[in-house]
Amino acid sequence: MVPHPLLTRRSISPIALVISLPLLCVGCGSGRTTPVHPSLVAAERTWGNIAAQLTGGMPIVTSILESPAQDPHTYEPVAADARTVADAAIVIVNGLGYDTWASQLLDGNGTPAKDVLDVGSTLGLSDGANPHRWYSPADVTRIVNRMTQMLIAHWPGSAARYLALRDRYLGTGLGAYHRVIATIRARYRGRIIGISESVFSPMADALGLVVATPQSLTRAVSEGSDISPADLTTAEHQMTTHTISVWIENVQNPTPAVTQLTRLARANGIPVVAVTETPSPRGASFAQWQTAQLDALNKVLSHHAPEHGGVHGG
């Protein structure tokens, strides 16, 4: 999806917005600008919730986008968002064109690069790559480790505590998440599935599932552009011929074409698994959200034998 023009409601540039909001600090007279209440700010709760598990309450973690109803692609920042970013010790943005508004706020604030965790850049990805990296278990682990490194760099006296929190999160906090991933991969690797958009592609790769849906279709849905008639016909054929075992729908982006395909899947007895782009329901942790979706997928796969292709139990 193409990001919405920034701050069109007031026609104020991000730079002007941030400059108009002085930073609360201690030691300002000595040239230091340390926030009174150190905070870590994430553009989206997807990464913010993970960060909160790693800080143990210090620093406080704030996510600008908290609700599943808020679309990161089209969000328009307000003055309070600029103030939140300006006061932060560390800022996490997704990057890869997913939350351009957040990167623009950072540019306007002049936040040092060492204080910013850009997920796409940290993973070495370039523009055009799938931005939904929280659906990649390996990438989540890499970002967890990078968050921990940044916390230690800012508060070295708490290094042992941050390392312990990281180890507990990776081992226990994400334990059920990793177990169901391993179960699906071991039992259903090679199973052919369909997906409504690219959000689930990284997880499908991690699970060893084969996505039959044309990439140009999933990309078009993600970017908000029209699906070609040929791609739509292909996706429909995969359902009517039972080429796919499961249809995975991002229910936070119910375009008319996706709704049509989901109805066709159900009409042909293809089970539908709902996923979301951001943590849902509101208040669910990253681990709870992802594990619940994977549990639903595991249950569906266990009750739906493939009619074409797929490696069961490999």
Residue 37: predicted pLDDT: 57
Is residue 33 located within the same domain as residue 145? Answer: yes
Q: Are strands 39-44 and 60-65 parallel, antiparallel or unpaired?
A: parallel
Give bridge partners of residue 210 from the DSSP assignment.
Answer: 192
Q: Residues with Cβ < 8 Å from 229, sequence gap 6 or more?
A: none
Q: Which residues contact 120 (CB under 8 A, 6 or more apart)?
A: 94, 95, 96, 98, 126, 129, 131, 133
- For CA atoms 18, 23, 29, 30, the dihedral sign is negative
| Residue where the block lists tokens 């679309």 | 71
Q: Write down which residue in 140, 173, 206 finishes a domain.
A: 173
Q: Is the confidence at residue 136, as pLDDT, over 60?
A: yes
Can you give the pLDDT at residue 305? 55
Same domain as 158, residue 30: yes
Tracing tokens 């989540």 back to the chain, one arrives at: 140
Give the pLDDT confidence score for residue 306 in this predicted structure: 53
Are residues 210 and 186 in contact, defined by beta-carbon separation less than 8 angstroms?
Answer: no
Question: Do 94 and 149 fall into the same domain?
Answer: yes
CATH number of the domain residue 230 falls in: 3.40.50.1980
The residue length of the chain stands at: 314
Tell whether 191 and 148 lie within a shared domain: no
The answer to whether residues 122 and 143 touch, using CB atoms and an 8 Å cutoff, is yes
pTM given for the model: 0.84
Q: Is the pLDDT of residue 264 over 60?
A: yes
Same domain, 135 and 191: no
Q: Verify that 27 and 70 share a domain, yes or no.
A: yes
Q: Among residues 142, 173, 204, which one ends one of the domains?
A: 173
Q: Is the peptide bond before 279 cis (omega within 30 degrees of 0)?
A: no
> What is the per-residue pLDDT for 189?
97
Residue 137 lies in a domain: yes
Count of the separate structural domains present in the chain? 2
- 48 and 74 fall within a common domain: yes
42 and 109 belong to one structural domain: yes
Q: Is residue 2 part of a domain?
A: no
Together in a domain, 130 and 234: no
Residue 138 lies in a domain: yes
Distance of alpha carbon 100 from alpha carbon 94, whole angstroms: 9
| 28 and 152 part of one domain | yes
Which of 173, 196, 215 lies at the terminal end of a domain, its last residue? Answer: 173
Token output for 58: 């210090």
> Do the Cβ atoms of 136 and 98 come closer than 8 Å?
no
Q: Which residue has the higher pLDDT, 223 or 308?
A: 223
Whether 129 is covered by a domain: the verdict is: yes
Residue 149 shares a structural domain with residue 21: yes
Element (H, E) at 55: helix 45-55
Q: Would you say residue 18 has pLDDT above 80? A: no
Q: Do residues 162 and 203 share a domain?
A: no
165: three-class secondary structure by DSSP = helix
User: pLDDT-derived band of residue 19, with 50, 70 and 90 as boundaries?
Assistant: very low
In a domain, 23, yes or no: yes
Domain extent, residue 284, equals 186-302
The model's pLDDT over 26-69, given as tens digits with 9 standing for 90+, comes to 333 334 344 445 799 999 999 999 999 999 999 999 999 987 77
Question: 138 to each of 47, 55, 106, 113, 170, how far by Cα in Å?
Answer: 14, 21, 27, 24, 11
- Tokens for 253, please give them: 């982006």
Q: How confident is the model at residue 303 (pLDDT cuts 50, 70, 90)?
A: confident
**The tokens of 250 are what?**
């991002």
